[in-house]
Amino acid sequence: MKLEITGRHVAVTPALKTFTREKLARLGKWIDDLAEIHVILTVEKHRHIAEIVAHGSHLKLSAREVTADMYSSIGECFEKLERQAKKQKEKFATKRRRNAAPGGDAAAEPDLPPSRRALRGRLRRARGAQASGLDGDGLPRIVRSETFSKKPMSVEEAALQVNHSGLEFVVFRNERSEEVNVLYRRKDGSLGLIEPER
């Protein structure tokens, strides 16, 4: 791991380096693959500012603290980084548990009777099908349904409805033919009309 400490308007003493390394060791509990840490220490009048950026293989953590004492600023920065690292680790563990749950097989459930194992397998397959947009029987599932007006309207009224509502299509009962028609927006911007055969 590469540790870089930069001082701006402050001398980076061996004591500051030692203190930073000690705090860094505690952070190592939460992050296994720290590649690089950059610590920037700045003094502006009575303000002691510590900024720390930690890079791992899959994450980047950063913290900034301002106090009246440089050691306090560094300590509080590392506390923030610990909280961030802990949160990331818990988030990753939760995600792994969630992803591993549906993938279990029947051998991993020896205490369940065969009928329960079969039911669980069907539920897992149904969940997988839902994620892919299919229902439990492998058919496309209906996501949303809409109703259309029973009142007959002209093609011109339907065109106004498509243009003003921002919809891609309108299903309506044509006032002349009394048949159900669909008026849709084409890729070139014009409108297309679908009428049933007579």
143 vs 42, which has greater pLDDT? Answer: 42
Give the Cα separation of 191 and 178 in Å (integer): 20
Domains and CATH numbers, the chain: 2-99 (3.30.160.100), 155-194 (3.30.505.50)
Number of Cβ atoms within 10 Å of the Cβ of 153: 19
9-18, 27-36, 104-113, 163-172: least confident range: 104-113
Q: Hey, CA dihedral for 44, 50, 55, 59, is it positive or negative?
A: negative
Residue (of 37, 41, 36) closest to 13 by Cα position: 41
Order of strands across the sheet with 2-8?
2-8, 34-44, 47-56, 60-67
pLDDT tops 60 at residue 136: no
The answer to whether the beta carbons of residues 105 and 81 sit under 8 Å apart is: no
141 vs 57, which has greater pLDDT? Answer: 57
pLDDT, residue 107, reads 47
pLDDT tops 50 at residue 16: yes
The answer to whether the beta carbons of residues 5 and 18 sit under 8 Å apart is: no
The answer to whether the beta carbons of residues 22 and 35 sit under 8 Å apart is: no
Give, rounded to a whole angstrom, the gap between the first and last alpha carbons of the chain: 77
pLDDT, residue 48, reads 92
pLDDT, residue 106, reads 44
Q: Quick one: tokens of 32?
A: 């296994």
Residue (of 183, 185, 192, 178) closest to 150 by Cα position: 178
Q: Quick one: tokens of 62?
A: 């950063």
pLDDT tops 60 at residue 142: yes
Give the Cα separation of 174 and 152 in Å (integer): 6
Give the Cα separation of 50 and 75 in Å (integer): 9
